[in-house]
Structure 1
Amino acid sequence: MRRLAAVLALALSAYHLVVAVVGPPITEAHRATHFMLGIAVLFCLGTISATETRRPRQIVIDLVFLCAILVPAGYVVIDAYGIASRMLYVTPVTPSQEILGWVVVVATLEATRRLLGWPMVILSLIFLIYTQAGPHLPYPFWHRGYPIDQVIEQIYLSVDGLWGIPIGASASYIFLFVLFGALLVSSGAGTFFSRFANALTGNVTGGPAKTAVLSSAMMSMLSGSSTANVVTTGSFTIPAMRTYGYNREFAAGVEAVASTGGLITPPVMGAAAFIMADFLGLSYSDIMIAAAIPAFLYFVAIFIAVDVEARRNRLTPPRDAGGESLRQILKEGLFMLLPLGVMIATLLQGLTPSLAGLYGILAFLLCLTVRYRREPRRIVRIFLEAAIEAPKMMAPVIAACAVGGIIAGIISLTGLGVRFTSIITYVAGDSAILFLALTMIVAVILGMGMPTSAVYIILASILAPGMVDLGFQPLAAHMFIFFGAVMSNITPPLAIASFAAAAVAGGDPWRTSVHAVKMGVGVFLLPFIFVYEPALLGQGSLLEVGHAMLTAVIGISVLSIAATGWFLRPLHPVMRLILVAGAIGMIFPGTLSDVLGLTTIAAVALLLWLQWRRPATS
């Protein structure tokens, strides 16, 4: 079974490389092939570790679900042209199509349960039940009801369900970037990024924490998973921070918040960013440019927080910190950065993300060939390892996109999106801020039990239209939802990235989450700012963008200091509240708010400086 999984994984990687060169087949066939091979790998591997042996009953169950994926998806691949040419809701659904549809839905839910847990499965079941219970529900949830065959037709035989935009983005863009990230990992990129970050920041105050921030950001923006990055880079960054003097929970919080930030950091963001490009009909470079300033502000907030924490605890850099030569590190590992440059250049030229991923992979293989020209077996080993690991890394994304497509299809069929927007609009009244706050709360709550991409898919279908109706730009509305889904990774009570970091550090999960939220507190305000100030998304003149960025940097920095509670000396709670007010004034757009905010911050800073100087002069 494991050998079969390896063969299917290699087949999926080879398929995507060939498709990137020659172009994809018809939409239904392309997306079904991607889904079929990706989920089949999961059922071949089962749910136990490589060191355990599956019992015969487990193997039988896995084989049954393997067939439950291969047969229905294989039918879509074989009869893709027939499915594409049928008239939706007019051409009758045959009994065999209805059976295959139910089989693939059940298999998809089982794959989701294994990879993402019960919350996503329960939510999917609620939506499926909703298609039948609608006539018995009160307004605004009432609908006329839909026959079972029509529900299956929407999910299985249209591109508005299982084969919709989410799985399309996964098949067209995301896989190649994950394969690129897998190549980096299999070639030792994690060690290179850690050494590179340590050479830059290791000999400054808070060095190990800043090294963790840089290395985690670089790795997570390539892996697309905050949790995966926490357990890889965290295994050496957290011990380094502990040795430096940070407590367990703070060290774990730094790792969690830095790994989460990688999901919003160009050039390679989380899977939801690629799905967003498809939803909006924009090029990925537009999404990448829009996320650049918010990502920069995110890491400014974290850097300030770790620096203040180090100064408060008087943690000086270790003597051997940053001892390696940056020049030597770059000489040894420059081949890992050049393909990234090729990928960025391709995206900025306006070419498709699939081509950017392909060119990045080819450039990386070329660099490997030059680097290890006398070790051809090593090159083959690195590539094969990456080609087998990438589909395994993709399995949760494929499952999330598939079940997200099912939910989005039901939302579209029943018209729930319009009514749900009406509910929140009714609760919020005429207050756009309240509408945004409710949207953020829903995003964070959903994100506690679901991956970022799934949360984004659902809320983009339900709430983004309502935000656009309120007058917000579509890009800002979708980016707002994206940020909310990302931040749920560090938000208690169920902060997945924080919990993973706490496990690595051997610390308390709740305290780790609190530290992560304190460091990222400014980032929770960012989405509320850029929906009103599109200049922070790169929308506007150079002067407007520069002004918005400068005031936001000042505000985010001061907010991080207020959250930490120390600047030259411990801050009184009243002083912290005054700094928060000044920071918010700087962050939100408007000349008057900027002047008031800057004046408030300057007055507090002067007072603190005088208090700090007084003991020395007395």
Structure 2
Amino acid sequence: MTTVSAAGEGSGLRTVLRHAAHAVAIGMSLFHIHAGIFGEAPALAYRPIHLALAFAVLLLTAASMRAPETGAKRWIGLAWDTAMLIAVLASTLFLVFDQTRISERMEYMTRLLTAERVLGALLLLVVLDVVRRSIGWPMVVITLVFLVYTQVGDSLPYPFWHRGYSIDRVIEQMYLTVDGIWTVPLAVTASYIFLFVLFGSLLVASGAGEFFTDLARALTGRIVGGPAKTAVVSSAFFSMLSGSSTANVVTTGSFTIPAMKRGGFSGSFAGGVEAVASTGGQIMPPIMGAAAFIMMETLGVPYGDIMIAAILPAIFYFATVFVMVDLEARRLNLRPAEDEEMPKVWPVLRSRGYLLVPVIFMVWALVSGYTPARAGVWAIGMLAAMIVIFDRRKGVRGLARIFADALINAPKLIAPITAACAVGGIIVGVVSMTGLGYRMATIIIETSHGILPLALALTMVVAVIMGMGMPTSAVYVVLAVILAPAFVDFGVVPIAVHMFIFYYAVISNITPPLAVASFAAAAVGNADPWRTSMHAVRLGLPVFAIPYVFIYHPEFLAQGTIGEIAYVCLLMAIAIFAISVASIGWLKVPLSRATRAAALLFALLLLPSEHVGLIYQIAILAGSFALFWLCYTLDLRRKAGAATAGTASPHGRDPAS
């Protein structure tokens, strides 16, 4: 009887908490729509409200999941959740209601009130706790190291020495100014990112995920390697809805991975394809994740410029995976599907094509120079109108459910991003306070001995390591503040450096040992996580070369004339194809190790370089290509000889496969 009563009590409490979380989420969505239409409140009011609402949704959701538990663990957990909720509301509402006095105080001159000191410390605690829940302990430890650094820097040797700062000084900068928690990352999240997340949530709720999947199947389902190519194309489409690689994997992978397995690919290879393709969603315009918006504010350029710069790398990224899949399918001699139920392009577009109109409009608005907030609000309004017009058959209840799902899901998605940006603001505040950013430039230059490729390699390693299990936005914020300034002394174009860091922070999602996207794909496909990660790395091998081209030839980021851009793209296309051939080991016939090595050498020499004269470069390329062709010719003769001797496989397959 007692057990039943406790279970009923837990279920009732869970329902109450879940409804409370939904109510706060809907309120948060409406708050941001209002701000997007009529303008934002002052920074130290608007940003704290955003953080309070996002954290409240996360904490209430966590409490609702804890409610069915029994025993002391349940009540201790609920008490802690309640304490964190009260702390975040008290610390943020204090800033909102005391806005006038705080705005008139002299920063770093006026003594802190006891309330400011206590509430500031509590907010730091809440931020760390929410980061622990949503991101994990590594980010908490990194943040604590930076906070401790403010207290012990006067005891450290150069280049880490600083004069030391009191706890009051740290709390003031983090809590009462826009140079700490409320700095650029959180500002971008509150002003822009939420509206794009809401737009994506509304698209998903309206059935856009199914529409894009059907469109991808219609475009690629009837060609060689169709199921895997469907995964690539559908992930590229779905990236317009989500900037999260894991979300892309779970959403599109639930359909594409089983289809690839039925088509003849192994489960681990299918998971690798989906992981690589879904990871590319963070670099595919128009919605590129939080880091792209933070980059916009950091560089002080319109978001349209970021989109334009990202277009060619994104196209080459997905084209690379597409080519790799095609080569693997041909190596396995997989035949095109002949499924009569495969959708066709025109019927798919005729039934749900209207969902593309708001996306196209949003891209136009961003490229035309409208602010992301304005473009986001207009796109949301246009999409809502089209849902009402074209989905009338769903009735009032069906339409209400679509809008309610979007209004509820967007805050749940933005809460972890808000936590990452808040903790990123803390790190940015420490770096600016102590001057560490300027000294890190010196450290990088001295460590690399002034050699740019070595400095780039060090940055790549740091970005990949930090990105293992951490959000891309958090990695980008930290490295953009600490490492990016160093490359100014090398004469590198700023947007190229930031795209370099951003790109490798994204790629870390498929890099072992903690490849988040690969592990998610392995779980969906019931495959071995490690083998899936290895396949993802092999498929993504050509992609690892792309960011280096940003540095030496920013034309690849649309920073040049049409002729210059076309020349770099031509070289990149040939190089990526050569790397793909070397990685898969097949080009009409199985390739020997010597041929694959020659192809890789040719590709690396083909990558644009400004350190070799044109005549020498042509001579080197001609020699490397001749070596590849010689090895390839030997492979062709070996295959022909094996066929003549009757040792070739009946369908032209590689016997080793």
Cα 1:186–1:599 change in 2 (3 A) is: farther
Deviation at 1:603, TM superposition (A): 5.9
How high is the sequence identity, in percent, across the aligned residues? 49
Give the corresponding residue for 2:636.
612
Give the corresponding residue for 2:515.
495
Aligned partner of 1:176 among 195, 220, 233: 195
Give the corresponding residue for 1:311.
330
Residue 367 (structure 1) aligned with residue 383 (structure 2): no
Give the corresponding residue for 2:415.
395
3-state SS, counterpart of residue 259 of structure 2: helix
Contact 2:192 2:373 in 1 (8 A): yes
Q: Quick one: distance in 2 between partners of 1:51 and 1:68?
A: 20
Give the corresponding residue for 2:502.
482
1:533-562 CA distances to partner (integer Å, 9 max, x unpaired)? 010000011111111111111111211111
Q: How does 1:335-354 map to 2 (within 5 A)?
A: 335-354=354-373
Q: Quick one: distance in 2 between partners of 1:549 and 1:77?
A: 51
Residue 449 (structure 1) aligned with residue 474 (structure 2): no
Residue 8 (structure 1) aligned with residue 24 (structure 2): yes
Deviation at 1:468, TM superposition (A): 1.4
Question: Which letter does structure 2 place at the counterpart of 1:231?
Answer: V
Give the corresponding residue for 2:289.
270
Deviation at 1:585, TM superposition (A): 2.2
Contact 1:68 1:104 in 2 (8 A): yes
Q: Quick one: distance in 2 between partners of 1:219 and 1:469?
A: 39
Cα 1:598–1:119 change in 2 (3 A) is: farther
Deviation at 1:410, TM superposition (A): 0.7
Contact 1:47 1:114 in 2 (8 A): no
Structure 1 unpaired stretches of 5+? none
Give the corresponding residue for 1:29.
45
Contact 1:181 1:223 in 2 (8 A): yes
Bigger mean CA deviation after superposition, 409-418 or 193-202: 409-418
Give the corresponding residue for 1:125.
144
Q: How does 1:397-476 map to 2 (within 5 A)?
A: 397-476=417-496
Question: Which letter does structure 2 place at the counterpart of 1:33?
Answer: I
Deviation at 1:449, TM superposition (A): 3.2
Contact 1:558 1:580 in 2 (8 A): yes
Residue 43 (structure 1) aligned with residue 59 (structure 2): yes
Deviation at 1:70, TM superposition (A): 0.8
Deviation at 1:605, TM superposition (A): 4.7
Give the corresponding residue for 1:568.
588
Give the corresponding residue for 1:146.
165
Deviation at 1:229, TM superposition (A): 1.5
Contact 2:240 2:281 in 1 (8 A): yes
Q: How many residues align?
A: 618
Q: Quick one: distance in 2 between partners of 1:602 and 1:194?
A: 43
Larger radius of gyration: 2
Deviation at 1:415, TM superposition (A): 1.2
Q: Quick one: distance in 1 between partners of 2:622 and 2:188?
A: 43
Contact 1:586 1:598 in 2 (8 A): no
Deviation at 1:509, TM superposition (A): 1.5
Q: Quick one: distance in 1 between partners of 2:258 and 2:180?
A: 45
3-state SS, counterpart of residue 241 of structure 2: helix
1:226-265 CA distances to partner (integer Å, 9 max, x unpaired)? 0111112111111011111111111101111111101001
Question: Which letter does structure 2 place at the counterpart of 1:558?
Answer: A
Deviation at 1:594, TM superposition (A): 6.0
3-state SS, counterpart of residue 489 of structure 1: helix
3-state SS, counterpart of residue 446 of structure 1: helix
Give the corresponding residue for 2:5.
none
Contact 2:468 2:516 in 1 (8 A): yes
Give the corresponding residue for 1:105.
124
Cα 1:595–1:319 change in 2 (3 A) is: farther
Give the corresponding residue for 2:236.
217
Deviation at 1:589, TM superposition (A): 3.6
Q: Quick one: distance in 1 between partners of 2:498 and 2:236?
A: 22
Deviation at 1:474, TM superposition (A): 0.8
Question: Which letter does structure 2 place at the counterpart of 1:382?
Answer: I
Give the corresponding residue for 2:212.
193
Contact 2:242 2:248 in 1 (8 A): yes
Q: Quick one: distance in 1 between partners of 2:203 and 2:449?
A: 50
Displaced runs of 4+ in structure 1, greater than 4 A? 47-54
Q: How does 1:224-263 map to 2 (within 5 A)?
A: 224-263=243-282
Give the corresponding residue for 1:287.
306
Give me the CA root mean square deviation.
1.8
Question: Which letter does structure 1 place at the counterpart of 2:486?
Answer: G
Aligned partner of 2:624 among 593, 600, 606: 600
Q: Quick one: distance in 2 between partners of 1:209 and 1:263?
A: 20
Residue 583 (structure 1) aligned with residue 603 (structure 2): yes
Give the corresponding residue for 2:651.
none
1:359-409 CA distances to partner (integer Å, 9 max, x unpaired)? 111111111011123422222210111000000011110000001101111
Q: Quick one: distance in 1 between partners of 2:374 and 2:111?
A: 39
Cα 1:200–1:428 change in 2 (3 A) is: same
Task: Please report the TM-score for the alignment, with normalisation by the length of structure 2.
Answer: 0.91
Contact 1:26 1:81 in 2 (8 A): no
Aligned partner of 1:73 among 89, 92, 102: 92
Contact 1:221 1:263 in 2 (8 A): no
Q: Quick one: distance in 1 between partners of 2:528 and 2:507?
A: 19
Contact 2:227 2:259 in 1 (8 A): yes
Q: Quick one: distance in 1 between partners of 2:68 and 2:624?
A: 62
Deviation at 1:288, TM superposition (A): 0.3
3-state SS, counterpart of residue 327 of structure 2: helix
Residue 549 (structure 1) aligned with residue 565 (structure 2): no
Cα 1:341–1:609 change in 2 (3 A) is: farther
